Amino acid sequence: MAVPLPSSFRHRTVDADGLAVHTVVGGEGPPVLLLHGYPQTHLIWHEVAPALAAAGRTVVLTDLRGYGDSAKPAPVTDDVYAKRAMAHDQLLAMRALGFDRFAVAGHDRGARVGHRLALDHPDAVSALAVLDIVPTRHTFAHADAEFGLGYYHWFFLAAGHGIPERLIGHDPEFWIRSRMTARHSGGAAYDEAAVREYVRCFSDPAAIAASCADYRAAAGVDLEHDEADAAAGRRVRCPVLALWGEHSFVGRSYDVLEVWRAYAEHVTGTALPSDHYLPEEVPALVTEQLERFLAGAGW
């Protein structure tokens, strides 16, 4: 079964200060960086990326540090998988491709990396789209029993002593398929070729360890960085598009635009008829929203 990306998209490995970042590039025009979430790879964008390229954009897909076919450094310290480090990887990867300024669209963990990238490197990010998240700082500050049950994986993955690594490693395919099935509603079915790629990449013990470290960072060092930004009054300056699933936990639990307007200066957005995995469930609607947003942002 073929991996669902056109042959015109070119694969290469980019060096980001010694860390190998797997990238896929297609199209010509203003650059747009697409970042995936958990537990996917760049292939979550397999329907959206070709459409954006056909619309006249250079589309860059990457696997985040610790995911897909990118490097998976051992999480020897808490900051190895801080969003600050993961965002810096993406900045260096884009520079290596010749892009000093670019738009970013991120889903799930990728949206958190994009948020940090826009805060740390505002001159590099022309526009930011965040799919089905509210900021990490807000989620922890307003966590309750409903959040704990709906997002139990945040706490499970952040647990120490090798517990999640061992349990997930026993049957990673079951974990991935169960997570994705539980958060799907009303949209297109997942592409089986893409899911098999997620399973292949996530079956690497180093990937499981890295993803757990990613969630531990969110509950630790990422919050420290977020609190420092809040205390200093730093907000995202570029235009922000927030998209979320009307059936997702985010859509049911937050006034998404109101939350984001506390963290960014120029926010628009809307719900889409899906659950969590918008780029796979409603790719045409995501593409339409992104293209309209990027054009409106002058990009």
| Catalytic (active-site) positions | 108, 276
- Indicate the Cα dihedral angle 7, 86, 261, 297, nearest 10°: -40
The two three-digit tokens of residue 121, written as one number: 């490197």
Question: Residue 233 class from Cβ within 10 Å (0-12 exposed, 13-18 middle, 19+ buried)?
Answer: exposed
Round to whole Å and give the CA distance between 49 and 278.
Answer: 13
What span, in angstroms and rounded, lies between the C-alpha atoms of 164 and 154? 11
**C-alpha dist (Å) from residue 73 to 38, 66, 112, 160:** 17, 7, 19, 18
Q: Coil, helix or strand for 87?
A: helix
Q: Tokens at residue 91, please?
A: 């900045």
Contacts of 168 by beta carbon, 8 Å cutoff, 6+ apart: 175, 208
CA 270 to chain centre: 18
Strand order in 236-245's β-sheet?
10-16, 19-26, 58-62, 31-35, 102-107, 125-131, 236-245, 264-272
**Which helix (H) or strand (E) segment is 86 a member of?**
helix 83-96
